[in-house]
């Protein structure tokens, strides 16, 4: 591009405080004209009209308002939306693609801590660490710990990965050095591609029957809503572990509660349906459930990875190069 484009930030300050620090803003200013470094939280606030009118690049983050037809009408020069976070489905609309606006997401960067959390959860759950920690705290004495819980081991366990998403692929890669048998279910892949990821391709029902640990990495789509319903959860072997760092809507919550309250399976849940669970949910207290409040994604210093990717994308846009992490309309119906 002949001149530096005008960049405007749009995100919820409470959710993104410190995301763009002095060093990040300095690099953004090297690439773009930044008339106001304070992000827009709403497109109807007093500053918005003047900023949107000039905006050529919209740098977005968590809590960005929807880019509907009204917002786009107020931004006639807008050419790119670069999201310094994961999914763009909360703010990007089809109207953006109809306008020919380029869309980029830092989902690949956000996948890294999610995959790291998942692999840690798989290894700890396989050793029954979550159950044993609670049991040790309760008895405060010696026990034959291998007899206190079902098979506290990871050796030659079967791990079933549902979904070859960015996170799913990275989980498979990180699990490669361990002594696991890896299964993969993803109807969008052919068997050769699945094997190339180091996993045996199987149908979902077979994966659930054979796996010691099942980890979910499918996108939240109409066809994946309650993907694990009562029938499919019943396919899990006794003592199996379900790990969900994807979306709570992938699992029927009533059926899941029933299985967990019965103690038949264990679960590591970073996401739930609903989110947040009601205060009287049994999942808060069950010894076979390790529950965290949607923290697998980028937090703290991990957020710097998101901004670095976004700034790299802006640099490519400024130089007129292809975006490495572009979101395209043809992929819309199968991405998270």
Query: Catalytic amino acids?
Result: 247, 273, 294
Contact by Cβ (8 Å): 102, 317: yes
Q: Rounded CA gap, 91 and 16, in Å?
A: 15
Instruction: Give 48's contacts (C-beta < 8 A, 6+ positions apart).
Output: 40, 42, 74
Cα gap 133→129, rounded to integer Å: 6
181 C-beta neighbours (distance < 10 Å), count: 14
* Cα gap 244→114, rounded to integer Å: 10
* Residue of 313, 310, 330, 329 lying closest to 93 (CA atoms): 329
Q: How far apart are CA 154 and CA 141, in angstroms?
A: 25
**Distance between terminal CA atoms of the chain?**
31
Distance, in Å, from the CA atom of 10 to the CA atom of 207, rounded to the nearest integer, reads 42
């Amino acid at each position: 591009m002949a001149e530096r484009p005008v960049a405007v930030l749009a995100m919820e300050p409470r959710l993104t405080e410190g995301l763009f620090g002095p060093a990040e803003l300095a690099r953004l200013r090297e690439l773009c004209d930044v008339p106001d470094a304070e992000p827009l939280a709403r497109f109807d606030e007093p500053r918005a009209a003047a900023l949107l009118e000039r905006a050529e690049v919209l740098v977005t983050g968590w809590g960005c308002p929807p880019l509907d037809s009204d917002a786009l009408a107020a931004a006639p020069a807008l050419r790119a939306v670069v999201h310094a976070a994961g999914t763009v489905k909360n703010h990007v609309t089809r109207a953006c693609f109809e306008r020919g606006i380029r869309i980029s997401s830092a989902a690949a960067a956000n996948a890294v801590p999610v995959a790291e959390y998942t692999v840690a959860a798989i290894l700890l759950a396989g050793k029954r660490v979550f159950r044993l920690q609670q049991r040790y705290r309760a008895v405060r004495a010696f026990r034959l710990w291998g007899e206190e819980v079902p098979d506290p081991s990871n050796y030659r366990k079967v791990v079933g990965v549902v979904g070859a998403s960015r996170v799913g692929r990275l989980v498979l890669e990180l699990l490669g050095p361990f002594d696991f048998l890896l299964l993969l279910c993803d109807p969008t892949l052919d068997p050769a591609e699945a094997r190339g990821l180091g996993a045996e391709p199987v149908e979902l029902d077979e994966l659930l029957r054979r796996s010691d640990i099942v980890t979910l990495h499918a996108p939240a789509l109409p066809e994946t809503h309650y993907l694990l319903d009562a029938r499919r959860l019943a396919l899990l072997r006794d003592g199996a572990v379900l790990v969900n760092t994807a979306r709570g809507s992938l699992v029927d919550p009533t059926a899941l509660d029933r299985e967990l309250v019965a103690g038949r399976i264990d679960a590591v849940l970073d996401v739930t349906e609903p989110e947040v669970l009601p205060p009287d949910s049994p999942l808060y207290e069950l010894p076979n459930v390790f529950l965290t409040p949607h923290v697998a994604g980028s937090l703290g210093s991990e957020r710097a990875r998101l901004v670095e990717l976004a700034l790299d994308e802006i640099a490519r846009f400024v130089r007129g190069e292809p975006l490495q992490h572009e979101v395209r309309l043809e992929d819309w119906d199968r991405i998270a």
